Amino acid sequence: MEEYLPLIIQLVTGAVGGNVAGKLLKNLSLGTLGNTIAGLLGGGIGGQVLGMLGLGAGAASGMDASAAVDAAAGGMDLSSILGSVAGGGVGGGIIMAIIGVVKNMMSK
């Protein structure tokens, strides 16, 4: 279960990020369900991109050897949780906005 925790955090915060972005950018909003789905997608993608860059969950940069071993074994520390939250929320908001722009362009 611990190996799936970063993905779950990214998906949930992505959904929240998509809905927050939808409230702030009313002209790009896809509705609550659309914002949530776009946010879920963006949260998963955003978290994975940050992980590949070494900034998300399981990133061993800047850790001592024991922390790197714990992260590689699936352990979660505060920095990896915050990385998952940030990656998911920002990714969810960005993907929701991109989809909103494309939808508006197609409707013209």
- Which of 14-34 are b and which e, b meaning 16 or more Cβ less than 10 Å from the residue's Cβ? bbbbbbbbbeeeeebbbeeeb
Widest pairwise Cα distance in the chain: 56
| pLDDT value of residue 106 | 95
* Residue 61 DSSP label: T
Residues 94, 42: contact at Cβ < 8 Å? Answer: yes
Could you identify the residue written with the tokens 């590689």? Answer: 72
Every domain of the chain and the residues it spans: 5-23+35-107
With 70 as the cut, is the pLDDT of residue 96 above it?
Answer: yes
End-to-end CA distance of the chain: 46
Could you identify the residue written with the tokens 């920095």? Answer: 79
For 59-86, write each residue's pLDDT tens digit: 444 444 444 445 455 567 888 888 889 8
For 19-64, write each residue's pLDDT tens digit: 999 999 999 999 999 999 999 999 999 888 877 887 665 444 444 4
